[in-house]
Amino acid sequence: MQKLNGKIAIVTGGSRGIGRAIALRLAHDGASVVVCARGAGDLEEVVLNIAASGGTASSIVADLRDPAESGRVADFTLEMYGGIDIVVNNAGATKRGEFLALSDDDWADGFALKFFGAMRLTRAAWPHLKSRGGSLLNISGAGGRTPGPEFTIGGSVNAALLSFTKAMADVGIRDGVQVNAINPGTIRTARMKMRLATISESQFVKESQITRIGEPEDVANLVAYVVGPEGRFLQGSLIDLDGGSTKTM
């Protein structure tokens, strides 16, 4: 028996990279998965891939920067599958750069999707997670604990999401909802591949003082553990999955 049989999961930012890997893994473990992102083409490929492997998935195009979209994603999931057991808030990329070169719009955009999108979807899904003893998992980032000079937006957004996770974990104790966060470090996504075009991988690993560059599947494997039956004792955990980049306690 697959460990997530009968479970219904939402994965935001599910069309590429980490989100795609998470959606594929949860479907492999038996969950019915709703993937959402801003682009239709890649979403459809994920759904077809899951179906070809015998899994169940649906997609919805949504820009979670729009306050109305989170409720629409939750409603779509309920219409398709009748409940919500797992929410993985993964959507959101933030602009890198020198602080003085970053505009107010850059900052607003960074918070709009990754923080406010996650907060609103959590709010829309929470009554259903509560009724089913579900799990909320926020994909934050190592920069929330170890920010850098070119990651002022990302570090700030990730730190806010970690604080939100801790607060909601206490609400989850009251309401019977599991709440945790994962902090990926350097993962081999499309954005990372662009950065590697200017520096060799071995040099990057050495300068970053990490064991290696992570793969999207590394994150997906940990997600599957956390939201599966083996990980249910985790609550309010902020889990660093970063090859050793986080040096602080």
CATH code of the domain in which 73 resides: 3.40.50.720
φ, ψ of residue 138 to 5 degrees: the values are -100, 130
Q: Give tens-digit pLDDT for 150-169.
A: 999 999 999 999 999 999 99
- In this structure, the chain runs to a length of 249
- CA distances in angstroms from 36 to 11, 42, 144, 166, 237, listed in the order given: 7, 10, 24, 25, 25
Q: Looking at the domain assignment, is residue 33 inside a domain?
A: yes
Provide the residue range defining the domain that includes 82: 8-188+217-240
**How sure is the predictor about 193, in pLDDT bands with cuts at 50, 70 and 90?**
confident
**Is residue 155, in this structure, part of any structural domain at all?**
yes
Determine what percent of the chain is predicted with pLDDT higher than 90. Answer: 92
Return the C-alpha torsion angle 1, 81, 47, 56, nearest 10: 20
Is the CB of residue 30 less than 8 Å from the CB of residue 3?
yes
Number of domains in the chain: 1
Predicted confidence at residue 198, as pLDDT, reads 82
Residue 174 lies in a domain: yes
The pLDDT tens digits of the residues spanning 143-155 come to 999 989 999 999 9
Residue 179 within a domain: yes
Q: Is the pLDDT of residue 197 over 90?
A: no
Amino acid letter, residue 150: E
- Predicted local confidence at residue 194, as pLDDT: 80
Question: According to the model, what pLDDT value does residue 195 have?
Answer: 77
pLDDT at 248: 87
Q: How confident is the model at residue 177 (pLDDT cuts 50, 70, 90)?
A: very high
Mean pLDDT over residues 12-36, rounded? 98
Percent of the chain with pLDDT over 70: 100
- Residue 15 domain-assigned (yes or no): yes
Alpha carbon distance 9, 28 (integer Å)? 12
Give strand ranges (E) for 109-163: 135-139
User: Does any domain span residue 208?
Assistant: no
Q: Does 207 map to a domain?
A: no
Task: Record the pTM.
Answer: 0.96
For residues 229 and 197, the model is more confident at: 229
Q: Report residue 191's pLDDT band, with 50, 70 and 90 as the boundaries.
A: confident
**For 81-98, what is each residue's pLDDT tens digit?**
999 999 999 999 899 999
Residue 182 lies in a domain: yes
Residue 19 confidence class, pLDDT cut points 50, 70, 90: very high
pLDDT for position 144: 95
pLDDT surpassing 80 at residue 1: no
